[in-house]
Chains A and B, each alone.
Chain A
Amino acid sequence: MENKEILLELTEIFADILDIDEVNLQYNTTANDIEEWDSLTHIQLIVAIEKKYRIKFTSIEIQAWKNVGDISNLIVEKLK
């Protein structure tokens, strides 16, 4: 899968978990750009992403995330 495709799917996951109709997700989007993306919804997002792609993140991988692009890159990497 490519980053572009992942970004579209992440947009759906974010909209669902954060319960917002429209999410304009970009690679450089951070928690500062979306009010509903907080420490609690972050856990739910990770749980939903792991379930969707049948992957597991390590604590070191989670630590490296600063924006949506970092999440997307890691998903691409794990699906290879």
Chain B
Amino acid sequence: MEEKSKLNSIVAKIANENPLHGKKLKENLQLLDDKFFGWAEVFLNKYLRFLEKTGIGLDEAIKFYLNKVNENIYEMVNFFQTGKYRYSSFEEVNARVYANKEVMESYMYGLLLSQVLWKQHYLIFDFYRSNLSNYNTYKNYLEVGGGHGLFINEATELLDHNIEYDLVDVSEKSLEVAESFIDYKGINYIHSDIFEYESNKKYDFISMGEVLEHVENPEALLNKLKSMLNYEGKIFITTPTNAPDIDHIYLFNNTEEIRVLINNCGFNIEQEIEVPTENISPEKAHKRKICVMYAAFLSHK
């Protein structure tokens, strides 16, 4: 109950600054179950320890989060007016976002908080952690574009510690944030554009959450992952449709476009989930150009 009140107190602070967004968060939290609140307790304790470790106050983190919310609104207005994402070049968003430590810091702290505040982020994460153990025969694990590190952190907690973990990210700041957030010390942090990353290893498992929409050619990226994956290996990917953001450059109009891409790259979809960001069906969301989060476990065909 205490943790539920910790969550409620964060939501109340947000609602005070942004009543409209506070209203949405309160409505969404009502739809979540005890399993969520149990996880939220663990997550918030870890998040608060992480803030303490990195010297960022909760109020500042909330400010970062609200910046993110408002950037999203700003980009959505443009998206509804033009039907396109504002940016289309990786070079441009790399310079403005990934290579900009100040922007990236605010982005990562805000994004981490959204994990416990946004129903869709929690449901995608829950899909990942609920199914990951089914594939627990790995020797090595690669995470691409790990951002704040929540997913690979979960893997280190759920899977065996004799697995070799590599985390590749184009942003130095992201790697710094992830290293502070993740408790496990055995991860190799690699600062590289995934297209330039070369390794002699073939991976048993590759996780890549919300990266496909950040590149100009998602097919080339999936093919790159395929070249690094063992024949028996699995991939976990997530990507959204209709999700304008400060660094999204590739637009998926619906989840079928994602499935076609996966198929064209020679993968089978073993399991998948679609989570609209609003409380409507995926079909209605696609029609109204509203974001749907998509996640899947893939294997070689």
Residues of A within 8 A of B (CB): 30-32, 37-40, 42-44, 46-47, 50, 57-60, 62-63, 66-67
Contacts and interface: CB of A to CB of B under 8 A. Distances in A.
Interface string B49-84: 000000000000000001100110110110011000
A43 B20 contact: no
Contacts of A57: 74, 77
A48 to B, nearest CB: 10
A31 B74 contact: no
A67 B22 CA distance: 13
Contacts of B74: 57-59, 62
Given A44-B80, A46-B77, A47-B80, A30 B20 contact: yes
Contact of B24 (A38, A46, A47, A66): A38
A42 B290 contact: no
A43 B19 CA distance: 15
B18 interface: yes
Interface residues of B, number: 19
Nearest to B20: A31
Contact of B71 (A37, A46, A59): A59
Contact of B23 (A32, A50, A66, A67): A32
Nearest to A66: B19
Interface of B: 17-21, 23-24, 66-67, 70-71, 73-74, 76-77, 80-81, 278, 290
- The binding surface of chain B is classed by DSSP as helix
A59 B71 CA distance: 6
Contacts of A67: 19
A13 B225 CA distance: 49
Nearest to B75: A59
Contacts of A46: 73, 77
A58 B278 CA distance: 24
B278 A43 contact: no
Contacts of B80: 43-44, 47
9 pairs of A and B residues whose beta carbons are closest in the complex:
A59-B74, A31-B20, A63-B70, A30-B19, A39-B24, A43-B76, A46-B77, A31-B19, A31-B23
B23 to A, nearest CB: 5
